[in-house]
Amino acid sequence: MADGEEALAAVILAAGAGSRMRSELPKVLHPVGGEPMIAHVLALARAAGAARIVVVVGHGGDEVARRLTDLPLKDAPVASAADRAPSGAGAGGARCAPKPAEPEIVWQREQRGTGHAVAMAAPLLADFPGDVLVLYGDTPLIRPETVRAMQDTRKAGHAVVVLGFHADEPGGYGRLVRGADGTLERIVEARDASPEERAIPLCNSGVVLAPARLLFDLLSTLDDDNAAGEIYLTDIVAAARARGKSAAVVLCPETETLGVNTRADLARAEAAFQARRRQELLEAGVTLVAPETVFLSRDCEVAADALVEPFVVIGPGVRIGPGAHIRSFSHLEGCTIGPGATIGPHARLRPGAHIAAGARVGNFVEIKNAEIGEKAKVNHLSYVGDASVGEAANIGAGTITCNYDGVMKHRTEIGPRAFIGSNTALVAPVSVGAEAMTGSGSVITEDVPEGALAIARARQVTKPGLARRLMARLRALKVARTRQREG
């Protein structure tokens, strides 16, 4: 935490059953941008500077907790990271940053409303010396800039800050009732609102920022005397005002507050996320030939002057360097692509693939857990897994590294400027030295020394006239069998 920065904790509500999703998967684990929705919310909390993150789980809580431990601790910026080139792509030194907060799990065993859910975090945070930001695991689109605006409003002297938005169709949203001076007086849930209150277009997102001690103290005073019979988090506004505390509203676009309750909501969230992410890359100097056909992840990094053709999927953990060219119908995940490299069309890069500057990976090529050296070429119909390909090596069409023996994986090492003939099968563990060659159609089971040529295939035998005689025999057999069936 920087000097002078206020302490912040985040409480993420993730206990809902999500029954309208009609899924065995807990709602917050459904993906947007290639990652569970709750991963986006965790990244938001960390981007806001949260020193503590408490996740309140309930339905499917064991699975949610397990997935949270699997999520990487590091979080790329939610905004475009195009100014940060991938490792080896000319990037400057990384900034030192504190270790991101790990999520702490608490349970809401009984579903008694949002106020009750937040109160589950009281044993961990009631004495926290700063503010608590309440977020929702099914609301993945809120931006760090929006949270910063809430923090600025808190610093201006308001005890409780609520995130609101104007809705064309307020429907079931809670309404924010403001006084003549513009401060927030109370929040009224739709089912408890009068006709006049339901006519208010200013709606509640549910996101709240307040001092930890005040928040949990207010929650302890609330009851469930309302239409839903639940403890509403929203009631803290009126409770704070009754104590002479000020409350305020920070506004954001309605799209940011989209909560996912149905599969249709999930599709809308995905579309909104993709539109935002594409715009970020375009503004950062990335060429997207047909932006609406490119699908991006939250944490992917694409450097300026990269070019992405139509129908490309850039999944989680992808880093693309400046001037790289990603051709159509390629699928990338967990890989690094260096400056000026060319990928595709129809290429698949799986986790652990590292493509160096100027390398070429062509059509119908799959790379997994392998390093492709500078200016190396893997241009056609090949699989390279658990391998290292040296600088300026050439991998012929149809080459495969046979890396799996049914139990364990093994590596293949190919030296600089080696030439692997078409249809070579490299049975790992095996190495091919610098400037060595393999003959087309070879099955290489032993190491090939530097500069050597290895040929491992049966000698061709030619039988003159045998093809015609064999075909005549087969045709005669077919005719005989046909007559036998018809007779």
Residues known to be catalytic = 380
CA–CA distance, 184 with 246 (Å, rounded to integer): 8
In angstroms, the Cα distances linking 45 to 116, 265, 325, 408 are 21, 22, 34, 40
Beta bridge mates, 164: 204, 251
Q: Report the alpha-carbon distance of residue 339 to residue 318 in Å, rounded.
A: 14
